[in-house]
């Protein structure tokens, strides 16, 4: 529950540019035009990995009026139907998602799963969230995708190296929302 809730928190913060607007206002600016966001309703959330966390994220996102398209090679079509999730091949999920969230373990098969080729398949303006494991997303490819305008933003709770270096290129981008691996950081989860 805790990681799923953090994913939703980052999803909303990314869509509405909450951290950036907060910093701007606290620095003394009243700048509404720079922080126009996007609604979640009517958007497609791509979920890679439909384990407990992925399923919980999908259920919460559906409450915001999002449609869910998911990739999980271990998920039976009947289960996807029961959870009101459209099951699709990974390339389809990547190409259809307005927002993409990853919820898989880090294995040799999943390391760098979201790479240059994956970004090339995505819609222009996609937003990417990773609260699972550093290394699932190729950080250099993500940086390139954001600076080129392909990716509108990313929200990251995890990094390949933690903590990331203070000069990590992704930390310098306004389009990136970051937290220090807080996915399981609630009183309830720790108990």
Question: Omega before 163 cis (within 30°)?
Answer: yes
Q: Which residues of 140-149 are buried (b: 16+ CB within 10 A; e: fewer)?
A: ebbbebbeee
Q: Which of 16, 111, 168, 181 is catalytic?
A: 181
Q: Is-catalytic flag, 181?
A: yes
Question: Residue 17's beta-bridge partner residues?
Answer: none
Q: Which of 162, 175, 188, 191 is catalytic?
A: 162
Helix (H, G, I), strand (E, B) or coil at 59: helix
Q: Is-catalytic flag, 175?
A: no
Q: Is-catalytic flag, 103?
A: no
Helix (H, G, I), strand (E, B) or coil at 17: coil
DSSP 152: E
Q: Which of 103, 133, 139, 143 is catalytic?
A: 133
Provide the edge-to-edge strand list for the sheet that holds 151-156. 86-87, 67-71, 44-48, 99-102, 126-130, 151-156, 176-178
Task: Name the residues annotated as catalytic.
Answer: 133, 162, 181
């Amino acid at each position: 529950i805790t990681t799923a809730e953090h994913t939703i928190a980052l999803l909303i913060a990314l869509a509405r540019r909450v951290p950036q607007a907060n910093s701007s206002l606290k620095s003394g600016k009243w700048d509404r035009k720079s922080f126009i966001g996007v609604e979640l309703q009517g958007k497609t959330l791509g979920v890679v990995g439909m384990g407990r966390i992925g399923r919980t994220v999908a259920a919460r996102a559906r409450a915001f009026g999002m449609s869910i398209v998911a990739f999980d090679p271990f998920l039976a079509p009947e289960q996807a139907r029961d959870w009101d999730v459209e099951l699709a091949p990974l390339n389809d999920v990547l190409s259809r998602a307005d927002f993409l969230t990853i919820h898989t373990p880090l294995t040799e098969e999943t390391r760098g799963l979201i790479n240059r080729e994956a970004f090339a398949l995505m819609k222009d303006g996609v937003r990417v969230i990773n609260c699972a494991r550093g290394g699932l997303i190729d950080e250099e490819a993500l940086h390139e995708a954001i600076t080129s305008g392909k990716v509108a933003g990313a929200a990251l709770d995890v990094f390949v190296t933690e903590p990331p270096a203070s000069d990590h290129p992704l930390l310098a981008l306004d389009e990136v929302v970051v937290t220090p691996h807080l996915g399981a950081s609630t009183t309830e989860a720790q108990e």
